[in-house]
Structure 1
C-alpha cells in the first residue's frame, strides 16, 4: 500500500487535515534548547526527553538537590510518544486491573494504592511548579457498543469495587444521557482514576521545572554510544544537524537512566523485549455550541469502547474531539521511520468509525491526523532493570499507558540507582514482583513479525465473532501473553 495516498483518495472530512500532531502545534511550544557540545560531566545522565526521562530528572533533584543532572534528548522535548498520545493520565501501573491481576494477584492492592498515590503526586507537582497541562480530573468511561461487551463491563465493575474503586455502571439510557451515541449499550464510568491532560504541555512544563532546579537539558542530541570504566559511564552524543555522525559531545556520569521508549536503546539487551507499534489519531475542528449540545458530554470524561480493537477519545480545551486507536501496526524488523507516522488508510477508517459513533456530527472536518510509536512489551506494562553493576537503570514497555505510569517508573529507576537511599536500603517499589521480573522476550525475525501479525488478525476476528477468542488467542492467554489489542 502507498501510505502517502493521493488527493483523490482522501475522504472529504480529512481533506484539510495537517499531518502533524495537534498537541505539538500549540502556540505554547517553546523554542528548541541547545544541543550538546564539548565534554560534560555530571552525577546523573538521563537519556530521553519524554515523560520517563523528565520525571527521572525532576524527582532526582527533589530527592537530592545537590545532584548534577543532565538530560539528553534526540529530538525536541516531548516530540515523540509524550506529545502524540491522547492525554489520558491513568492511575493504573499495570495497564488495567485485569492485566495486573493476571500477573501479580498478591501485589495488586499495593500496586493500585501506589498507582493512586502516583496520580495524586502528579497533580501536586503541577501545582507546585505552576505547570498548566490542562489538568481535568473527569475520569474515564468505558462504553459497550456490542451486546457481548456488556457482561465484561459488569465484571470489571465488580473487580474495581473489590480493589477500592467506585465506578458507576450505566445502562443504555443513562450512558446516552452522559454522551449521546446511538452505538452505546452500557457504560462504566470510573470518575477517580483517570485525568485528562494536554500531553505536550505536560512534557514542556516538566522540562521547565527541571531547568528551574538546575537540570541541564540538551535537545537535538542523539546518544549513539556508551562506554564504561570502573567508575564512570561515558555517553557520546551526535547533534541532529550533523551529517557525518561524528561525535559532537560527550557526557561522563556516575549513573545513567534510560528512558528512550520504543526507540533503539543503547543497551542492546532491551531489544529482545520491545517492539515499536504505531498508533494513529485524528482531531476535529472545534465543535460549535449546537454540535456540543447534540452529543452532550457535559462532564468531559475520557471515553473508550470495549472492543478488542478499541478507540479512545476525549475533548480538548477548545472543544475538539481527539479520536484515536483501533489500528496498532508493527513493521517488520522493528521498523521505525518518520514516514510510518502517516497512514491515510487508517485515517480514513478512523473517520468512518467516528461518524458511525456520532452521526449527528456529520459534516465536521478534521484539522489534524498523525501517528506515533508505542513501546510495547509482552506483558503490556513497564519492566525495569539495571546494568553496569547497578550504575545504569532502565524502564520501558509502557504499551500506551505511560502518561501517568512513567512517573512511577522514574521513581523505580532512581531506587535502583540508589538515589537518595542508604546503602542496601530497599523500597516498597523495588520489592514488587512487577519490578523484579521481566516480560517474555519476543522471538527474532521473521518469527516476530509472523506472531504479531497473526495475533492482530485473530484479535480482529474475535471482534467480528462476538468477542469469542480462537485457539491462538486462548493459547496466548494461558501463557500470560494475551491482551485485547
Structure 2
C-alpha cells in the first residue's frame, strides 16, 4: 500500500483564480481577517441582515487554502471535543442550546448549497461513532446517556458489533452510535460560499497576509500592500489566531493528517459492507475517521495529534512520516481486507485547539475588534453558527446567538497555554496521557 503526494486532495477538485490583493488604503464598515468558513459566514449573515454594509475580507492565501479547505468534510453537531466536559463547564441547558443551534446549521448548510446551486457533494447520510475497545464502548454509553438527558428524550440505541458491522464492515468495530450529520467536499463549500458573498457585494482580497490589527477609534488592518480602516474588525484566523497579540497564548495549532486513495474498484467496494456511505468516527479524543468521497475514494484521517515547537506551521510538516505510519497501521486494523488499496494523497493541516476544547467568540475590551475561533477540528457546522454569533455581536444585538456558550463574558475567560518549551513538553505529555486513559479497559 503506497502513500502518495503531499497535496491536499480537495484542492484538486476545483480550480482557483485568486482575487487581486489589497494594493491601496481604503475604509469600510466591517473588515474581516480570514477568508475561511468563520469569516465568510460572518460576512454572509451580516450582508443578509444589513445589505448596505461595506464589508471587506482580507485573506492571506485564497479562500479555502487553510483549515476550511483541508477539513475531512464531516458536518457534525459537535462543539469542541467532549460533550461530557461541555456539560460540566456550562451546564445542561446551555449545552443543549448550543447543540441545537449547531444541529440547525447542518440542515441550513444543505439548504444554502441547494439554494445557490453549489455542487459540494453534500450527503445527509449521518455518521457512526464507533468503539473498538471496552473503554470506547463505555464512552459511547456515557455519551448516549448524557445526550438523552440533555435532549429530554431517549437517543438511538448503541449498535452491537454485528449490527455496526452490517453498516460499516470493519472487524475492528465492537459497537457504534448513529448520529445525525452529513458529509461535504469542504473546499467546494468554502469556494461556493466565497462566490456567494462576492455576488452580494462583499470585497475579498486574496494573497493579502495581515501583518497586524491596530485598535483605536476606527481599527485598522495592516497588510504589506495597503491598509483597511473600518468601524468594526473581526479576526477569524483559525489556527493562525495566535499570530495576533491578544490571542498569542490562547490557542495552539495542532497538526492532523489524512490519506486519500485512488477511486476504489467495484470489486474492492464489494469487500466491505458500507452501502449507506456514512462517515465513521472513532470514539476517542484524538480520533480516527473514514469516509468516501463523491468519486468513491476512501479518506482515512486522524492519527497522532502533533504539536511542533514554536507553533511551527510550515508546509514541510505535511511530510511527517510518523503520522502516515500511524495512519497506515490504523487503516490495516480497521480494514485488513483492503490491503491492496493505494493512497495517492497524504497531507496535513492545523486545527485551532483551545484550553477548554470549545469555541471562543467576543469583543476585545475597549475596542471595536471582535473575534471567533477555537473549533478544535469540528468546525464545518459550528462555524455556520459562529457566523450568526459574530453578526449579532457586531450589530450590537442581544440574541439567542450572543447568549450561546460560544461567547466570552465576565464568567468565562480565555484560558492561556504556557509558553514554549513548557507548551511543547505539555502537549506531548497530554497526548500520551489521553491515549493511555482512553485505552484502559
Q: How well do the aligned residues superpose, as a CA RMSD in angstroms?
A: 1.8
Are 2:293 and 1:316 aligned?
Answer: yes
Task: Determine the structure 2 residue equivalent to 1:74.
Answer: 60
Task: Determine the structure 1 residue equivalent to 2:204.
Answer: 217
Task: Determine the structure 1 residue equivalent to 2:315.
Answer: 338
Q: 2:213 aligns with which of 226, 243, 258?
A: 226
Deviations 1:415-455 (A, max 9, x none): 2212xx5xxx4112222344132342111222222221111
2: CA distance between counterparts of 1:212 and 1:176?
A: 46
Change (3 A) 1:433 1:464: closer
Are 2:29 and 1:52 aligned?
Answer: no
Deviations 1:280-326 (A, max 9, x none): 11011111111111111111111011244420111111111111112
Q: 1:170 aligns with which of 159, 164, 174?
A: 159
Task: Determine the structure 2 residue equivalent to 1:249.
Answer: 226
Task: Determine the structure 1 residue equivalent to 2:389.
Answer: 412
Shift of residue 96, structure 1, vs aligned partner: 4.7
1: CA distance between counterparts of 2:285 and 2:187?
A: 28
**Higher alpha-carbon deviation: 45-54 or 445-454:** 445-454
Shift of residue 41, structure 1, vs aligned partner: 1.6
Are 2:118 and 1:141 aligned?
Answer: no
Change (3 A) 1:33 1:273: same
Task: Determine the structure 1 residue equivalent to 2:418.
Answer: 443
Task: Determine the structure 1 residue equivalent to 2:5.
Answer: 18
Shift of residue 24, structure 1, vs aligned partner: 0.6
Task: Determine the structure 2 residue equivalent to 1:384.
Answer: 361
Are 2:104 and 1:104 aligned?
Answer: no
Deviations 1:181-234 (A, max 9, x none): 1111111111x2x2101000011000000111011111100011323443x222
Change (3 A) 1:187 1:68: same
1: CA distance between counterparts of 2:73 and 2:293?
A: 9
1: CA distance between counterparts of 2:376 and 2:69?
A: 15
Query: Helix, strand or coil for the counterpart of 2:2?
Result: helix
1: CA distance between counterparts of 2:383 and 2:231?
A: 23
Greater RCO structure (CA 8 Å; 6+ sep): 2
Are 2:429 and 1:454 aligned?
Answer: yes
Are 2:295 and 1:279 aligned?
Answer: no
Shift of residue 352, structure 1, vs aligned partner: 2.0
Q: Which runs of 5 or more residues in structure 1 are unaligned? A: 1-11, 239-247, 467-485
| Contact 2:135–2:440 under 8 Å retained in 1 | no
Q: 2:271 aligns with which of 285, 294, 314?
A: 294
| Contact 1:381–1:401 under 8 Å retained in 2 | no
Q: Which runs of 5 or more residues in structure 2 are unaligned? A: none
TM-score scaled by length of structure 2: 0.94
1: CA distance between counterparts of 2:367 and 2:116?
A: 31
Task: Determine the structure 1 residue equivalent to 2:113.
Answer: 126
Change (3 A) 1:212 1:185: same
Change (3 A) 1:458 1:115: same
Task: Determine the structure 1 residue equivalent to 2:49.
Answer: 63
Change (3 A) 1:296 1:350: same
Task: Determine the structure 2 residue equivalent to 1:469.
Answer: none
| Contact 1:100–1:108 under 8 Å retained in 2 | yes
1: CA distance between counterparts of 2:127 and 2:362?
A: 31
Shift of residue 74, structure 1, vs aligned partner: 0.2
1: CA distance between counterparts of 2:223 and 2:203?
A: 14
| Contact 2:220–2:229 under 8 Å retained in 1 | yes
Shift of residue 94, structure 1, vs aligned partner: 4.2
Change (3 A) 1:454 1:250: same
Shift of residue 91, structure 1, vs aligned partner: 2.1
**Higher alpha-carbon deviation: 435-444 or 361-370:** 435-444
Task: Determine the structure 2 residue equivalent to 1:478.
Answer: none
**Higher alpha-carbon deviation: 444-453 or 61-70:** 444-453
Are 2:27 and 1:41 aligned?
Answer: yes
Change (3 A) 1:433 1:82: closer
| Contact 1:261–1:374 under 8 Å retained in 2 | yes
| Contact 2:2–2:342 under 8 Å retained in 1 | yes
Task: Determine the structure 2 residue equivalent to 1:236.
Answer: 222
Change (3 A) 1:390 1:228: closer
Query: Helix, strand or coil for the counterpart of 1:262?
Result: helix
Change (3 A) 1:285 1:170: same
Are 2:162 and 1:180 aligned?
Answer: no
Are 2:384 and 1:398 aligned?
Answer: no
Q: 2:306 aligns with which of 329, 335, 350?
A: 329
| Contact 1:309–1:463 under 8 Å retained in 2 | no
Shift of residue 108, structure 1, vs aligned partner: 1.9
Deviations 1:251-274 (A, max 9, x none): 111111111011155641111211
Query: Helix, strand or coil for the counterpart of 1:263?
Result: helix
